[in-house]
Amino acid sequence: MSLFGFAKEIGRKVIGKESEASQKVREFLESDNPGIQDLDVNYSDGVVELSGKADDPIAVEKAVLMTGNIAGVNEVRINELQSPPLATDVEYYEIAPGDTLSKIAKEFYGDANHYSAIFEANREVIKNPDLIFVGQKIRIPKMVP
């Protein structure tokens, strides 16, 4: 997976001037460092290319979601990002109108009370479990019985 698509019009307002976009995105990622060493970011017309070395596949997933959930980003490419293979036991979900983390947990795990597993897996993207937005993409980790 080297290309991830996102809704360009929604997300956190991080990018101001396009000439500063690469630096602003890098600073944003580094503020919650998901585990990418020697991070480099290249932004051009809504497409962000990440490079560096990831500690593990989860670091890649978090960096992609953090980046993709920035307003003005519609694609994230990781071709130049060195990492172990990405996890196969994780699903990605796009928040729909009327969704809550409890509703999503009920859908994926059969129990709304497991919403905290989704919240914990997305701490870099979701700062408050009661504040999610339509179009936001999140990770749904496999629930361990």
- Give residues with Cβ within 8 angstroms of 85, minimum separation 6: 57
- Position 1 confidence tier, pLDDT thresholds 50, 70, 90: very low
d(CA 54, CA 129): 26
Global pTM value: 0.85
* pLDDT single digits (tens) 73-85: 999 999 899 988 8
d(CA 49, CA 84): 18
Residue 55, pLDDT > 90, answer: no
- Position 2 confidence tier, pLDDT thresholds 50, 70, 90: low
- Give residues with Cβ within 8 angstroms of 114, minimum separation 6: 105, 143
Q: How many other CB atoms are found less than 10 A from the CB of residue 133?
A: 13
Would you kindly state where each structural domain of the chain is located, as residue ranges?
3-82, 90-141
Give mean pLDDT, residues 51-55: 93
Give mean pLDDT, residues 89-113: 94
Mean pLDDT of the residues in the chain: 90
Q: Which CATH number fits domain 90-141: 3.10.350.10, 1.10.8.60, 1.10.8.10, 3.40.718.10?
A: 3.10.350.10
76 and 36 in contact (C-beta within 8 Å)? no
**Any alpha helices (H) in the chain, and if so which ranges?**
21-31, 57-68, 101-109, 115-121
Residue 34 vs residue 144, higher pLDDT: 34
How many residues does the structure list for the chain?
A: 145
Residue 14: closest CA among 3, 30, 34: 30
Residue 32 vs residue 3, higher pLDDT: 32
